Amino acid sequence: MPPESAERALNQSRWLSIVGIGEEGLKGLGEDARAAVSSASVVFGGRRHLELAAAAISGEARPWPTPFDAAMLDVVTLRGQKVCVLASGDPFLFGVGATLSRHVPAEEFVTYPAPSAFSLVASRLGWPLQEIETVSLHGRPLDLIRPLLHPGRRIIALTSDEKGPAELAALLTKAGFGRSRMTVLEALGGETERVRSARANEFAWQDINVLNVVAVEVAAEADARILPRAFGLDDALFEHDGQITKREVRALTLSALAPRRGELLWDIGAGSGSISIEWMLADPSMRAIAIEANAERAARAERNASAFGVPGLHVVERKAPDALNGLPAPDAVFIGGGGSESGVLDAAIGSLKPGGRLVANAVTLEMETVLLGIHARLGGNLIRIDVSRVAPIGAMHGWKPAMPVTQWTWIKQG
């Protein structure tokens, strides 16, 4: 059997087809994708998708339930029947394909992707996609765009609805990027496709199609809130009450924590959340849980997380070690406050995954005593961090030392 025939036979044996469809409807589908739609006993999709494919649907057209069922029970219960799911563009790029694959093994479905919205925007504007920042703000906080706002960069952002472009323009303007040029691309590939541009601080359109994507050419004003891609961000960028790991110590702390993609951090005694936030800024896949007993500081950490574009930071407003019960096991732990409390270090060590890193900082003699004891018992690396800053002394200047920090770093063996 020729390879192409074997592949077609394999595809036909799979009960689920996932078909990406654009605004041009059936005209944009290949022969195999059309056949998957027409041969299915049940076709799932959004109402718009079902309307676009209506002429090819011979089975039952079933719109997604409201609210959307992320467990995909309606689809999974039809295992063994011929089922088709319609999706926008590329189903595996911020699409329903990713949700389905959590419940259906890859060997049970075949996918027919169409060009993604990112690809369509890049082709309309002539932007090399590999040089562009892309982000989905569809059903997600607009704050996610903040770490991408660097002068001269270009961003393509998926939005949720017709209000998205105006809300994004307001965010850009407030953050000091009002001169950025926004291009709104509506109903891409459809008969009503439209492309318009305006500066963020001049954005005033009201008649925007619910299906839109925004391309941003970032331009910064002098006071723009630019988040550098480095550890040890300026303390002034954070809202804090003085209880913050200072930037020089924070840089060394993050270096010792050694973030790796996809990992989870416990930040015990989080204060303003600066360690958690910089951990999450290292890569979009990073996760962090900030444990903070003080209600005011916990709320402040959440505000900081939004302002830094990492709204996914999970803040637990409880006191350690009790707050650690039931939390998912961490890949790394930072203890910056409350570490001298009985049981905190032992609980963190017990929960840490094999190969995980634990970093604890001490500024008090009590906490330093704890670290000296744990270092004698378990080993690891113990350093002292002294930082001095220039300060006025009368009409002259001199070095003013900050409180020294004792830092213990330890890696849990398997």
Please, what is the angle between helix 247-257 and helix 274-281, to 10°? Answer: 50
The confidence score (pLDDT) of residue 188 equals 95
Q: What is the CATH number of the domain that holds 83?
A: 3.40.1010.10
Domain of 125, in residue numbers: 118-217
> Is 227 part of a structural domain of the chain?
no
- How is the beta sheet containing 42-45 ordered, strand by strand? 60-63, 42-45, 83-88, 16-21, 109-112
Q: What is the CATH number of the domain that holds 126?
A: 3.30.950.10
* CA 91 – CA 106 distance, rounded (Å): 13
Token couple for 345: 């270090």
Q: Are residues 239 and 373 both part of a single domain?
A: yes
**Residues forming a β-bridge with 335:** 268, 360
Q: Are residues 367 and 305 both part of a single domain?
A: yes
Angle at 376 between CA 384 and CA 386, to 5 degrees: 5
The confidence score (pLDDT) of residue 3 equals 52
* CA 333 – CA 369 distance, rounded (Å): 19
> Is 342 part of a structural domain of the chain?
yes
Q: Are residues 76 and 129 both part of a single domain?
A: no
The confidence score (pLDDT) of residue 376 equals 96
Q: Are residues 265 and 171 both part of a single domain?
A: no
Length of the chain, in residues: 414
Token couple for 269: 């005694």
Token couple for 324: 């650690």
Q: Are residues 181 and 313 both part of a single domain?
A: no
Q: Are residues 324 and 396 both part of a single domain?
A: yes
The confidence score (pLDDT) of residue 339 equals 62
> Is 229 part of a structural domain of the chain?
no
State which of 114, 142, 172 marks the end of a domain: 114
The confidence score (pLDDT) of residue 342 equals 74
The confidence score (pLDDT) of residue 8 equals 54
Q: Are residues 36 and 177 both part of a single domain?
A: no
The confidence score (pLDDT) of residue 275 equals 98
> Is 406 part of a structural domain of the chain?
yes
> Is 260 part of a structural domain of the chain?
yes
Q: Are residues 125 and 106 both part of a single domain?
A: no
The confidence score (pLDDT) of residue 102 equals 95
Per-residue pLDDT of the chain (414 residues), as tens digits, is: 555 554 555 556 799 999 999 999 999 999 999 999 999 999 999 999 999 999 999 999 999 999 999 999 999 999 999 999 999 999 999 999 999 999 999 999 999 999 999 999 999 999 999 999 999 999 999 999 999 999 999 999 999 999 999 999 999 999 999 999 999 999 999 999 999 999 999 999 989 999 999 999 999 999 999 999 999 999 999 999 988 999 999 999 999 999 999 999 999 999 999 999 999 999 999 999 999 999 999 999 999 999 999 999 999 999 999 999 999 999 999 998 656 677 899 999 999 999 999 999 999 999 999 999 999 999 999 999 999 999 999 999 999 999 999 999 999 997
Token couple for 387: 């930082």
* CA 147 – CA 309 distance, rounded (Å): 6
Q: Are residues 42 and 166 both part of a single domain?
A: no
State which of 90, 114, 138 marks the end of a domain: 114
> Is 104 part of a structural domain of the chain?
yes
Q: Are residues 261 and 368 both part of a single domain?
A: yes
Amino acid sitting at position 124: R
What is the number of domains present in the chain? 3
Q: Are residues 85 and 123 both part of a single domain?
A: no
Q: Are residues 161 and 100 both part of a single domain?
A: no
User: What is the pTM for the complete model shown?
Assistant: 0.90
State which of 114, 146, 169 marks the end of a domain: 114
> Is 399 part of a structural domain of the chain?
yes
> Is 226 part of a structural domain of the chain?
no
